[in-house]
């Protein structure tokens, strides 16, 4: 099994500075033997940068249009440890993170994950983007069995994960895998103390485009194979989404009482980001996903 305690899958789709910080944080996990598996879609120079800076990392190269779910699937196939975790290239794990994951599995969990906190705290656009996307998984979160887990702070028992090769091969987002597991009686365990940092920097236009691309890919996959009248109906309903998402985000942040001081100046951008998501769903339902998923970062 290679002598590793934990394999960590890291799709490398953003900058080298992002993945450097991520891998440096993994290297500080001195209480576990970690196999870092980096899947990159930037090309030879990016591969060289990673291998030069982190010679112990496993680096897998894929075409530039590879999707993140595809990259994760390749990482799952390559992983050799009895526990397999997934993060993102801009996620910073705290000291003791690996030990806590392994403890959860040793205590009987098959799948476990935890909250995500913002680590890009200087620019207001970064706060707005984070609150838009991650308000639901901000701490505090209730511990114990959960109906869902984040896809960028999660660990699986390898023998359990490999029972779902066919689901993983569909190359969809983690909610598809987690729903399949729950349908078979596998419990998803939320660990409220397992908090990672999300350090992603955006411009307003970049995040607007990412919201659109993600939602178009989601909607297009959701109605694949459905009739035109059904797709048209879904698209019409999606016109109501911006208002619903905006209100839900604001309510969630106020209820949790976290980062409220960052919420108020973010409201105009949150409204715009919600509209971008709604537009993506309408287009996805009516015209399909196109190549949106391969452009999601």
Please state the rounded mean pLDDT for residues 252-276: 97
**Residue 31: per-residue pLDDT:** 87
- Find out if CATH 3.90.550.10 is the number for domain 6-198: yes
CA dihedral for 237, 239, 243, 245, sign (positive or negative): positive
Which tens digits make up the pLDDT trace of 22-48?
Answer: 999 999 998 899 999 999 999 999 999
**Residue 1: per-residue pLDDT:** 45
The pLDDT mean for the chain works out to 97
* Residue 200 pLDDT greater than 80, yes or no: yes
Query: Where are the domains positioned within the chain?
Result: 6-198, 204-295
* Residue 133 pLDDT greater than 70, yes or no: yes
Global confidence as pTM:
0.95
* Residue 79 pLDDT greater than 70, yes or no: yes
Helices 204-222 and 124-134, packing angle to 10 deg: 20
* Residue 195 pLDDT greater than 90, yes or no: yes
Please state the rounded mean pLDDT for residues 92-116: 97
Closest by CA position to 168, among listed 292, 84, 231: 84
Closest by CA position to 58, among listed 25, 9, 16, 19: 9
**Residue 2: per-residue pLDDT:** 57
């Amino acid at each position: 099994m290679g002598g590793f305690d934990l394999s960590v899958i890291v799709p490398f789709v953003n900058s080298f500075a992002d993945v450097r910080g991520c891998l440096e944080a993994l290297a500080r996990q001195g209480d576990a033997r970690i196999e870092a598996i980096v899947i990159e879609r930037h090309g030879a120079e990016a591969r060289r940068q990673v291998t030069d800076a982190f010679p112990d990392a496993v680096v897998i190269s894929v075409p530039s249009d590879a999707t993140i779910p595809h990259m994760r699937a390749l990482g799952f196939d390559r992983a050799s440890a009895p526990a397999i975790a997934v993060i993102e290239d801009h996620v910073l794990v705290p000291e003791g993170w690996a030990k806590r994951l392994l403890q959860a599995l040793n205590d009987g969990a098959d799948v476990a994950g935890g909250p995500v906190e913002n680590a890009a705290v200087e620019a207001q656009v970064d706060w707005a983007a984070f609150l838009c996307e991650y308000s639901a998984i901000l701490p505090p979160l209730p511990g114990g069995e959960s109906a869902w887990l984040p896809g960028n702070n999660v660990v699986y028992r390898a023998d359990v994960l490999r029972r779902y090769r066919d689901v993983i091969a569909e190359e969809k987002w983690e909610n598809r895998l987690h729903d399949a597991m729950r349908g078979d009686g596998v419990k998803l365990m939320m660990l409220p103390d397992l908090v990672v940092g999300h350090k992603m920097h955006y411009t307003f236009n970049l995040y607007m485009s990412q919201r659109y691309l993600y939602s178009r890919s989601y909607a297009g996959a959701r109605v694949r194979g459905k009739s035109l009248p059904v797709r048209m109906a879904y698209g019409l309903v999606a016109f109501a989404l911006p208002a619903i998402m905006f209100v839900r985000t604001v309510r969630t942040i106020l209820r949790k009482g976290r980062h409220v001081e960052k919420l108020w100046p973010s409201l105009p951008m949150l409204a715009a980001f919600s509209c971008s998501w709604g537009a993506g769903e309408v287009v996805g339902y009516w015209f399909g996903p196109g190549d949106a998923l391969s452009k999601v970062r």
